[in-house]
Amino acid sequence: MSGHDFQIAIIGGGIGGLCLAQGLKKNGIRAAVYERDETPSSRLQGFRIHIDPEGSRALHQCLPEDLWEIFDRTGGDFSQGFTVLTEHLTELLSVRGASGPADPVARHRSISRITLRRVLLVGLSDAAHFGKRFLHYEELPDGRFALHFADGSTASADIVVAADGVHSAVRNQYLPDASPIQTGVLALGGKLPLSDGVMALAPGRLLDGPAIVVPPEPCSLFLAIWKRSPEANEALRRLGVEEPLAGDENYLVLGLGGRAEYFGLNGDDPHGIPQRTLKDVLQRTVKDWHPNLRKLAAMGDEREMSASHIRTSRPVAPWKTTRITLVGDAIHSMTPYRGIGANIALRDAALLCSKLAAAHRGEKPVLEAIAEYETAMREYAFAAVEASRKSMDQAIADKRNPGFRIAKTAMRVVNRVPALKRKLVPA
């Protein structure tokens, strides 16, 4: 490095990596993103995600004003409410979002992963390199890093940021003991186009926000509606997208979670399970549930079904700070049961960006800046990992016990007392 000028390599072009790249560009810092996907549209998959106030603040900090405005119009309002239902659609608890004016920046939003990635790529055509599957790095005699990719190409950088997800190749080389562990829980996901028939069968409370069905058996079913607003369509047209992206239409999400052995899929590679089998598992699981849930499970297109083993990170002891660091799932992968993983990755990106920007301005040494980021990140991120794991354990526990019957009674009591329900509204 010369003076306060440095070149940063971001390995991974997901939400956290691209948010960081936007923030670095905004601060005049040279950065390149290396993504293994062949093109920006290679993986048109994934469901809608909830961007909370923390995530919104991070995006506002990192995005240029014109791109923030596009995100603001594309990310529709997220109903902060949530509902807990029995398998017969009896309401145990329903909490609606807080009323009143929302902070124009720090508010809840709902946006498709596909759309958000498209927005975050705007203006990065010279910095984002696709078809670059990272293999390994080596430290050069001058202190820089040489990066090696599967296509035989190489690149160099002063600072390397691992943003390459739960299977991070950078982390595997840099912090091999920090790899996430299997939870034994299998997540099956599907989605249905949001037709009038689907809306008629879906629980009415989904208009207030997501719902979770908690049967006595050791599993749970997550339901949520994704609808893209007219304002989002107009914002996307400003990006040159005239029609909804494939896989990005309005839909109802069904997410079934439970231990693999409960579904009879123990030991199976989830990516190798036939989609027909996944749909059969979903229908078999809900066969004694409310007729509407059985019909929704039957209506789903098996081609939209997918499965994955849920992994989670464990707290990592502080490591010696170097000019390699990590963001998002590369260091703190968490279960999907709190829906906060993307927001923590965005928080990482904004915090790391601010620290590196301070170093770029000469306010502190680079290693000090990275150390400050890592110290703060370990505290908030691993607290989120633990909260997410606890939520998963509660959702997929065998609920045929006196303790859960007491919990159901408590939820019903809270549901009848508005003052108690208001305390549960997400911040």
CA 110 to chain centre: 12
pLDDT score recorded for residue 2: 45
DSSP 361-390: TTSS-HHHHHHHHHHHHHHHHHHHHHHHHH
pLDDT score recorded for residue 296: 96
Per residue in 204-238, pLDDT (tens digit) is: 888 888 899 999 999 999 999 887 666 666 666 76
DSSP 3: T
pLDDT score recorded for residue 12: 97
For residues 33 and 147, is the Cβ–Cβ distance under 8 A?
A: no
| Domains in the chain with CATH codes | 76-104+182-312+397-427 (3.30.9.60)
Residue ranges of the chain whose pLDDT lies below 50: 2-3, 427
pLDDT score recorded for residue 336: 92
Contacts of 71 (CB under 8 A, 6+ apart): 59, 63, 111, 116, 119, 235
Cβ neighbours, 10 Å, residue 134: 23
- E-assigned strand segments in 178-238: 181-193, 211-213, 219-226
pLDDT score recorded for residue 208: 80
pLDDT score recorded for residue 427: 45
Per residue in 69-93, pLDDT (tens digit) is: 888 888 766 666 789 999 999 999 8
**pTM, rounded to two decimals:** 0.90
Contacts of 227 (CB under 8 A, 6+ apart): 76, 194, 250
pLDDT score recorded for residue 76: 66
